Chain A
């Protein structure tokens, strides 16, 4: 290849090669070191500035795609036959805490006489439901732990219609991906079908043996001991079955959509 250099006393090519060999590790070392130093400094700046890294658009995009990934992992981890623990009556948290995105005085008042539960989407029977019709269905009760996304938890006793019974009754397409909820307090959320069909998922009409009071979601709340509190809608007015993702009040602001426990 380098015939013209053969026999030459000054082999430029080999000098260059040698030089590169000597310099290369130093360059590599230095760039590695400066990369790490930059990394450390970035961390330091972030710490000092109170960490508003979340405001950065690309960081936000990365974090929400990780959240979507966690939705899929949770869907995969969800075992329809695994039951949430149930507790004796003596362990019920009294008083059970009120929790919403508004104060207890602002909880909506829903009139039983005029109330109709709307059912739409991928269901065979779209007629509206009156409360007494739901009360006429088979009722079940359970004492389970309500876990809030904030970390606290409380044990309560809910009774009502098994949601899978209700979905069957309205002829819902149980192969659809989502069940969504619209509420009298303008809250909205949606859940995966597997959780909707879980045997502990209740369309709760009572709390602690009495009609579900206004502060806990009259006339009904969806009670899922397999999901965090914000996934459990109260004051439900409309239920829809769909293949289109519709998010939720908190989910649209960044809470994880699956929100399972």
Chain B
């Protein structure tokens, strides 16, 4: 019998994905560090961020960084979502997602029994985490739009519960994003080949 033809080799992380991932990482870095400096001008809660980890030097500078990088974050994010949805990748890679599967994979992960042999396959915990970060950044953009243009976007303003509520939403969404980044970086450190895959891509069978 003849051997079946080898399955077509495709990159687990296509070029567009790697590009939008790194642009997003850079945009988030600029948005968050400048955002902390803006926060410090009128702290919403009972603390300020250490100035040494903020970007912009003063409020005016931080605002310039924030309102420049917002375009990169939003446009890059839109490009990512459009390609992800149009190519069918979003539904292929992130679904199905079930509470049962989630508990199973989380338990396996905590016991260190979750394999990462095939980087093109996301386990249920990853699926939820990546879907969460897509929704969270969308929320950051919407609450940010409300703070930037609260008069011009009345529907979004009401959706956020008003100008003041949008400030809280923006802050909480930022905090959750930072929590994601922390876990994400720890996971990358535990499975370093994922970093290589995100940089150069990796040939994997579909």
A150/B199 in contact, CB under 8 A: no
Q: In this assembly, does B127 line the interface, its C-beta being within 8 Å of a C-beta of chain A?
A: no
B152/A67 in contact, CB under 8 A: no
Cβ of B164: which chain A residues have Cβ within 8 Å of it?
153
Of B1-9, B51-59, B89-97, B186-194, the segment with at least 4 beta carbons within 8 Å of chain A is B51-59
Of A28-36, A103-111, A113-121, A134-142, the segment with at least 4 beta carbons within 8 Å of chain B is A28-36
Q: Could you tell me the dominant secondary structure of chain B's interface residues?
A: helix
In the complex, how many residues of chain A place their beta carbon closer than 8 angstroms to a beta carbon of chain B?
45
- The CA-CA distance from A115 to B11 in the complex, in Å, is 74
Q: In this assembly, does A201 line the interface, its C-beta being within 8 Å of a C-beta of chain B?
A: no
Q: In this assembly, does A51 line the interface, its C-beta being within 8 Å of a C-beta of chain B?
A: yes
Name 6 A/B residue pairs within 8 A (Cβ), A-sorted.
A33-B200, A36-B22, A50-B52, A51-B57, A52-B57, A254-B60
In the complex, how many residues of chain B place their beta carbon closer than 8 angstroms to a beta carbon of chain A?
39
A54/B64 in contact, CB under 8 A: yes
Q: In this assembly, does A256 line the interface, its C-beta being within 8 Å of a C-beta of chain B?
A: yes
Cβ of A150: which chain B residues have Cβ within 8 Å of it?
38, 41-42, 59
Q: In this assembly, does A243 line the interface, its C-beta being within 8 Å of a C-beta of chain B?
A: no
What residues make up the interface of A, taking CB atoms closer than 8 Å to B? 29, 32-33, 36, 39, 43, 46-47, 50-55, 62-64, 66-67, 70, 74, 77-79, 82-85, 145, 147-153, 225-226, 250, 253-256, 260-261
Please judge, given known A-B contacts A63-B65, A151-B42, whether A260 and B149 are in contact too, CB under 8 Å.
yes
CB distance from B88 to the nearest CB of A (A): 27
What residues make up the interface of B, taking CB atoms closer than 8 Å to A? 22, 26, 29, 33, 38-39, 41-42, 44, 51-61, 63-65, 67-68, 71, 147-152, 154, 157, 163-164, 167, 199-200
Cβ of B200: which chain A residues have Cβ within 8 Å of it?
29, 32-33
B167/A151 in contact, CB under 8 A: yes
CB distance from B108 to the nearest CB of A (A): 31
Give the nearest-CB partner of B196 in chain A: A33
